[in-house]
């Protein structure tokens, strides 16, 4: 290789003064403002790297989005949980649709937190072109995305939220909420009812798989229901085609039922304690004659402000091999974190110094009783956890990953 060729191979793309990125949001879908919150955290990190950011609602800002896709100074797009990757363009033969990003050669970096085969994520199932870089905050979800046919997948860390929690850190003695449980509740029986009437042999088999996995998952919080359903299918000789609608429906039903049944059992276990619950359901109605306190449902940014007034946050995490924004938000707020089993948190944070993990409802109850009795002080642990989270999971880390991939692209 001659010197000119060698120099060319080392030359990296850089941002020009007119270049910018677009973060795609969707207010009609993002009712809790998760995407808006993540957008506000990433924008300053991009700016620190010399790249301006525009935030556009891809359903409402149709003209600006179209103009940006065609603009050579728009270097790439960022979206969340696949929302925006489904945009299509009428080109080529009549009746043929293709990805608008593929057509114009624009990369989309999809920062994904949820399971890609859950029914709520069906909008992004067919977004498998070279244009899409799926950045999954869960290692198992990243593998499943590859099985769906997504060509470019990276497992990445999630972020903390210092741009959202801007108020000064309050000493624990001045915080008004002793223990906070922010959790979505639902009637788990609705997921089980999906298999009440099996109409054919396949549905009967899937119903048995559902019941078997649910039973195993509810015996221990250590059991990951997603891994358990894959193991059950393997043992039963059932092909796990991630693009099969029935298979995705089975996995969705298992995840939903186990998540909500576990949460319901958790709330019942702690209902003799003065825990403050934030939920989309009124716990006063569901759990009458208990000591639970209830405050109304709120957006994700508003939830973070509430965490900033809590001494301790309970995080019953549904992700076993991934980051969860609720735990990282709690760390950011300087609250003591008591979380359910999670391989990622248990790898990056020191038990007893940075956080606590409960392995059962009884163990959680014992921890909380110690907190309320003053036998367990969380001030120092909350401080250590916050420092570690902010140091290890800043938004600049994901931004650097995006820029690195963009520089390698042709």
Q: Confirm whether 205 is domain-assigned.
A: no
**Domain residue limits at 40:** 3-159+394-408
Q: Confirm whether 148 is domain-assigned.
A: yes
**131 lies in the same domain as 178:** no
> The tokens 């309970």 sit on which residue?
314
**69 lies in the same domain as 143:** yes
**Rounded (10°) CA dihedral 330, 332, 335, 339:** 40
Q: Is 53 helix (H, G, I), strand (E, B) or coil?
A: strand
**List of residues 6+ apart from 374 with CB closer than 8 A:** none
For CA atoms 291, 296, 298, 304, the dihedral sign is negative
pLDDT at 6: 47
pLDDT at 59: 93
10-residue mean pLDDT series, the chain (410 residues): 49 90 94 92 97 96 96 97 90 80 95 94 91 96 95 96 92 96 78 80 94 97 97 97 94 94 94 91 70 89 96 94 95 98 96 97 98 94 98 97 92
Other C-beta atoms within 10 Å of 145: how many?
29
Q: Confirm whether 131 is domain-assigned.
A: yes
> The tokens 């799926």 sit on which residue?
134
Q: Confirm whether 210 is domain-assigned.
A: no
Looking at the structure of the chain, the number of domains it has is 2
pLDDT at 230: 96
**Rounded (10°) CA dihedral 97, 98, 99, 101:** -120
**404 lies in the same domain as 293:** no
Look at strands 88-90 and 97-99 and give their pairing: antiparallel
**85 lies in the same domain as 183:** no
pTM: 0.92
**10 lies in the same domain as 68:** yes
Q: Confirm whether 278 is domain-assigned.
A: yes
**180 lies in the same domain as 152:** no
Q: Confirm whether 194 is domain-assigned.
A: yes
Which CATH number do you get for residue 122? 3.40.50.2000
> The tokens 């140091």 sit on which residue?
391
Q: Confirm whether 349 is domain-assigned.
A: yes
**28 lies in the same domain as 140:** yes
Tens of pLDDT along 220-245? 999 999 999 999 999 999 999 999 99
**134 lies in the same domain as 270:** no
**344 lies in the same domain as 307:** yes
**131 lies in the same domain as 184:** no
> The tokens 């198992």 sit on which residue?
140
**388 lies in the same domain as 403:** no
**147 lies in the same domain as 183:** no
Q: How far apart are CA 357 and CA 380, in angstroms?
A: 16
Q: Confirm whether 228 is domain-assigned.
A: no
Per 3-state DSSP, what percentage of the chain is helix, strand, and coil (rounded to 5)? 45, 15, 40
pLDDT at 1: 41
Residues 277 and 269 sit within 8 Å (Cβ to Cβ): no
* C-alpha distances out from residue 248 to 48, 81, 255, Å: 40, 17, 11
């Amino acid at each position: 290789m001659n010197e000119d060729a060698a120099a060319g191979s080392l030359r990296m793309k850089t941002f020009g003064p007119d270049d910018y990125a677009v973060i795609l949001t969707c207010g009609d879908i993002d009712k809790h403002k998760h995407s808006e919150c993540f957008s506000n955290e990433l924008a300053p990190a991009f700016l620190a790297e010399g790249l301006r950011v525009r935030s556009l609602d891809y359903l409402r800002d149709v003209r600006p989005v179209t103009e940006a896709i065609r603009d050579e100074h728009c270097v790439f797009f960022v979206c969340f949980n696949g929302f925006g990757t489904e945009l299509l363009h009428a080109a080529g033969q009549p009746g043929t649709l293709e990805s608008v990003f593929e057509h114009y050669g624009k990369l989309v970096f999809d920062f994904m937190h949820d399971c890609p085969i859950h029914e709520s994520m069906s909008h992004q199932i067919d977004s498998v072109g070279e244009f899409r870089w799926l950045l999954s905050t869960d290692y198992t979800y990243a593998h499943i995305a590859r099985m769906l046919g997504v060509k470019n997948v990276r497992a990445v860390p999630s972020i903390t939220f210092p741009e959202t929690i801007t108020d000064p850190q309050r000493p624990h003695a001045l915080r008004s909420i002793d223990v906070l449980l922010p959790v979505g509740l639902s009637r788990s029986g609705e997921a089980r009812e999906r298999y009440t009437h099996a109409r054919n042999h396949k549905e009967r088999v899937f119903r048995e798989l559902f019941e078997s996995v649910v039973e195993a998952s509810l015996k221990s919080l250590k059991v990951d229901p997603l891994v358990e359903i894959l193991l059950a299918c393997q043992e039963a000789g059932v092909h796990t085609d991630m693009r099969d609608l029935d298979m995705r429906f089975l996995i969705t039903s298992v995840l939903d039922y186990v998540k909500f049944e576990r949460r319901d059992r958790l709330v019942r276990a702690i209902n003799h304690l003065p825990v403050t619950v934030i939920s989309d359901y009124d716990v006063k109605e569901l759990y009458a004659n208990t000591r639970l306190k209830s405050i109304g449902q709120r957006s994700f940014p508003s939830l973070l402000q509430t965490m900033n007034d809590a001494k301790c946050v309970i995080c019953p995490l549904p992700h076993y091999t991934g980051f969860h924004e609720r735990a990282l938000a709690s760390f950011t707020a300087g609250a003591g974190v008591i979380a359910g089993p999670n391989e990622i948190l248990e790898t990056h944070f020191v038990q007893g110094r940075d956080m606590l993990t409960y392995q059962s409802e009884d163990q959680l109850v014992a921890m909380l009783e110690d907190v309320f009795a003053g036998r367990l002080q969380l001030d120092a642990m909350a401080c250590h956890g916050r420092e570690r989270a902010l140091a290890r999971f800043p938004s600049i880390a994901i931004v650097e990953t995006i820029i690195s991939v963009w520089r390698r692209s042709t």
